[in-house]
Each structure stands twice: as C-alpha cells, then as structure tokens.
Chains A and B, each alone.
Chain A
C-alpha cells in the first residue's frame, strides 16, 4: 500500500448504492455524507454489516456501508 493509498484508507470510506461505489469522508456523520452526495436522508436507509444505523452515526475509516433506496412504485391517481 502506497502512502497515498494508506492516507485515503484512513480518511475515506465507501457507500455502495445500486451497484455503484461512492467515496465519502470518514469521520463525518452518515446524514452529512448523504447530503454531500445530494441524496435525501429521508429517501435512504444505511446498513453497516447486517444492521441498520441511524444517520447521526460517524463513518469509520475504510469501512463500506450499504445505502438502500426506499422509494418504489409507479403512478397512481388516487
């Protein structure tokens, strides 16, 4: 691991969403990281391992968190 890779590992983490990976800043709250990615915290759930976490949880360096969209369904009129 190079110095820059080690620095990145210590300062960043990864969000996975719909098969895509997004780099987020370690140490920030989940809510802030979602907002930084222009994702509404009210439209997503975040999973660490097998458990849901609240959006005030601080992101650990190097970890990967799963982001689950909650919106589904199509159009209806009434």
Chain B
C-alpha cells in the first residue's frame, strides 16, 4: 500500500479515514490532527501554560511530545501512586516519564503519594476496606485531586490528558450500557475551569485512535512503560475496547462515529445538564478544593481514614501535604 500523499510505502492504513500514509507524512499528520482538535473544541490558546498529566505510558508521553513539537509551553506532572505489585509498576513508569523530560529538557513535576500521604493508593484501598478491584477508583480520585492541586498552585491554564478516541469510546460505551446520565453529561473533549476551583481540562487526542498513537510513539522512538497497570487486568474498560475493536474491524469508522455522533447529539440537546449538580460550591475544610460535601472532599475523607489507620502517615501529612 502506498502513501496517499507521496507514493512511498505506507506505514499505516487508517481505514476509518480511507487514508494510508508513509512515515514522514504520518508524523506530520498526528500533530496536525491534534492542533485541529485543540482549535475545534477551543481547548486552550497558543500562549497557554499547559500541565500534561503523564503516566509513563504511550498516550501521555506522545501527547507531551506532540505539544512540544507544536510549540506549546508544556510541563509534565507525574503522580507516583506507589503501586508495585511485584513489578515496581509506579517506579518504572516514573523512570519513563523522567527519561522523556530529561531528553527534551522540560520540567516534570512529581507528586509522590506514599511520601505525601504515608502509603500507596493500593494500600489505601485495602485500609479503607474497599474491594481490591476498586483500587482504580482510589487511584482516580487521588490523581484528580493531585492534578487539580498542582494546576492551581502552579498557575497552569489547563491540564491535558492523553485520553484517545478508544478511551473515550469505551467510557461512552460503558456509560451508555448502564445509562449513567451524570457521567454522560460530563464527558467532553474539554471541561472548563469552575469558579469553585476546578482547573480546566482538555483531551487533545480525543479524535485519534489508540492504534495511531501507538504508531506515532513507535515511529518517534518514544520509550514508554509497556506494561499495563497490574490493577487494570480484567478491567471492564478493556473489555469494552476489545468489543469496539471487533466492531471496528467489521465496520471501519464505528468508534469514531459513535463518539462524534454522541458529541453532536449532546450539542443539539440530548441531555440537559442539572446545573446544581455540576458546580460544587463548597470548599473542603482541609484542602480547600471544591466539593459537594459540607466539610471534607472525597479525597480528604478517604485519606483521613487512611491516616487514622496509619499513625506514621499523620506525622508526614502534618509536615507538608499535597
């Protein structure tokens, strides 16, 4: 198969676009498409201070790489969850993130959860008697809190994440199967900052397939953590991705159409957001971040319970916190 633009041998065929490209043209195409998404959804202006949430995986490091290529001022943020599970997962992922930052001479900010809070998110999930399979929810809560804290204190204009179209389609698929209206209302390529203190968030890769991001990372020689998080094994979202890929194989463009049609339907009034539920007006008594609750936010409630179970964690918390 030949490149549509130059007749050289193609390295990728994107059936949903009926487009095959050679190495050079594909490496131009990804930043072009990313910029187009940034513009289409008015994610952030050219002079924005950007905080890239990096996990050490291909998507976030590829996103950081693309944003730097496009000339944006983008610092990285790595949140070390302390997840080990016998493969030093967090430690290894952190090394990949740091290696990228060193190679590109850019700043990587690090939040070390075990250092800040006294233990790992996996241990916190156990201590709070959550099902071990629910470690992902503790991890997500912790990461969102840390991201928002760093974005606010570092005066960043926007937090960007490496969510690709497969991620978005899988989440949409799951939320639709279960009619989770609250999540459906909130799923957007960009979430604006709120007066109550949530930082702006954007997903510049939301229209790119995961396969395209993987190809970009490979061709750019980006070293990334190849292992999935040990707690992701068997995750429902992975099942949804596989299901959608089987549909995509039979009907190219299924994933793209599913996601874009959803955004279009929503913009035409498919859902009516309930404003009173969308903008928490309370501030957490401990950390000051927005919350729907009267006293502590969900993050502080969780980690307070952990601290009560871990006396040494309390001492660390009192000497400096996230």
Contacts and interface: CB of A to CB of B under 8 A. Distances in A.
Interface in A21-78: 35, 40-45, 47, 51-57, 68, 70-78
Contacts of A47: 218
Contacts of B117: none
Interface residues of B, number: 45
Interface stretch (B231-239, B297-305, B314-322): B231-239
A41 B1 contact: no
Interface centre among A55, A75, A78 (most CB of B within 10 A): A75
Given A76-B171, A77-B183, A71 B242 contact: yes
B222 interface: no
B278 to A, nearest CB: 12
B248 interface: yes
B210 interface: yes
Interface in B1-48: 1, 10-13, 20, 23
A78 B187 contact: yes
Given A40-B248, A45-B214, A45-B218, A74 B183 contact: no
A78 B213 CA distance: 20
Nearest to A47: B218
Interface in B151-187: 163, 166-167, 171, 174-175, 180, 183, 186-187
Given A72-B59, A73-B228, A78-B171, A43 B215 contact: no
Given A45-B211, A74-B232, A78-B187, A40 B245 contact: yes
B106 interface: no
B219 to A, nearest CB: 7
Contact of B246 (A40, A68, A70): A40
Interface of B is mostly: helix
Given A42-B211, A56-B1, A56-B13, A71 B187 contact: no
Interface residues of A, number: 25
Contacts of B139: 74
B241 interface: yes
Contacts of B242: 40, 43, 71
B229 interface: yes
A72 to B, nearest CB: 5
A70 B210 contact: yes
A41 B140 contact: no
Nearest to B238: A71
Contacts of B59: 72-73
B249 A54 contact: no
Given A40-B245, A40-B246, A73-B237, A52 B20 contact: no
Contacts of B13: 54-56
Nearest to B166: A71
24 contacts: A35-B249, A40-B249, A42-B211, A43-B211, A45-B12, A51-B11, A52-B12, A52-B215, A54-B11, A68-B214, A70-B211, A70-B214, A71-B242, A72-B210, A73-B228, A73-B237, A74-B136, A74-B231, A74-B235, A75-B140, A75-B236, A76-B163, A76-B167, A78-B183
Ranked nearest first, the 7 interchain pairs of A and B with the lowest CB-CB distance are A74-B232, A70-B214, A52-B11, A40-B245, A75-B235, A42-B245, A54-B13
Interface of B: 1, 10-13, 20, 23, 57-59, 136, 139-140, 163, 166-167, 171, 174-175, 180, 183, 186-187, 209-211, 213-215, 218-219, 228-229, 231-232, 235-238, 241-242, 245-246, 248-249
Interface of A: 35, 40-45, 47, 51-57, 68, 70-78
